[in-house]
Amino acid sequence: MKKKVLCFMVASAILLGFTSLSVGKTNIVIKGSTTVLPIAQKLLEAYTSKHPDVNISLSGGGSGDGIKALIDGMTDIANSSREIKPEEEAKAREKNVTPLAHVVAYDAIVPIVHPKNKIKDLSLDQLSQIYQGKITNWKEVGGEDLEIVVVSRDSSSGTFESWGHLVLKGARVTPKAQMQASNGAVVQTVAKNKYAIGYIGLGYINKSVKPLSVNGIAATVETARSGQYPISRPLYMYTNGEPKDAVASFIKFALSNEGQALVESVGFVPVKKIAAPTKKKK
């Protein structure tokens, strides 16, 4: 009997200990775009190291899922790689939610192919025709006599929305396209198939795939920020109205010189040129 009482006391003490650790903690929930995910993760790590009293929960799922979660009151910040849609704004008004956009970075959506594909550049029109299924063989755009395997993001993705607007101009993606749930999945699919073409955010480019220039312009930090690269876009964090308390502090950090340097460190484009650190006088 004494052993049971002792075990209960120990278990209760452990439980109380864990509970006491969470007392006073402020929780921030962030959901949405997989494109914005690496930016948010980097910001989260740096912010929580400076603010140990803040817990931040981060998950992906797509821009549409993030915005829906904001409207439903299930997240404090919705990451999105596209602007909120009019129908989403209407649903938000019905629930007394006021989505407010904070541009935290810029991105270039980059077409990618297998490293062995000899194609280096495609025009916007060629990309549009490939994704509509009107161009189906690489030889039609100066490549080998091989069938093109079209890889696309799925419809819940903000990258899919942006590609549809900037490249397809509202036309439908070919039903033969292989739809992928994330930038990482697109990279893996294209890296394993020498006939494939896909598109990803600038920060996801690695040696397993080859990025293509578009209209003769390569995707870089400079061409994305200036808008010279034809498939560039802002990346957002949406809040319900003006953020307050810890959420406001996090957004302010994301837009600070330190936060924007972190944006650049994961391969995306800061909203403005980062100020050089001031030299300390000896």
149 close to 195: Cβ distance less than 8 angstroms = yes
Task: Please report the pLDDT score of residue 276 as a whole number.
Answer: 56
Indicate the average pLDDT of the chain. Answer: 89
* 143 plus 191 within the same structural domain: yes
> Which residue has better confidence, 205 or 8?
205
Range among 2-6, 24-28, 51-55 with highest mean pLDDT value:
51-55
**Residue numbers of the domain that contains 191:** 107-232
- Two tokens, residue 269: 């484009």
Answer whether residue 280 is part of any domain: no
Same domain, 111 and 215: yes
> Quick check: is 276 in a domain?
no
Residue 158's pLDDT band, with cuts at 50, 70 and 90, is: confident
Inside any domain, residue 145: yes
Asked whether residue 270 is assigned to any structural domain, the reply reads no
Least confident of 3-17, 63-77, 155-169: 3-17
Q: Residue 16: which CATH number? A: 3.40.190.10
Residue 279 lies inside a defined structural domain of this protein: no
* Residue-wise pLDDT tens digits, 251-268: 999 999 999 999 999 888
Tens digits of residue pLDDT in 193-252: 999 999 998 889 999 999 999 999 999 988 988 889 999 989 999 999 999 999 999 999
Same domain, 182 and 249: no
Same domain, 90 and 163: no
| Residue 277: per-residue pLDDT | 52
Please determine, for residue 15, whether its predicted confidence score (pLDDT) is greater than 70.
no
In a domain, 89, yes or no: yes
Residue 240 maps to a domain:
yes
How far apart (Å, rounded) are the C-alpha atoms in residues 57 and 76?
10
- In the chain, % helix, strand, coil (3-state, to 5) comes to 40, 25, 35
Task: Tell me if 272 is assigned to some domain.
Answer: no
Q: How many domains does the chain have?
A: 2
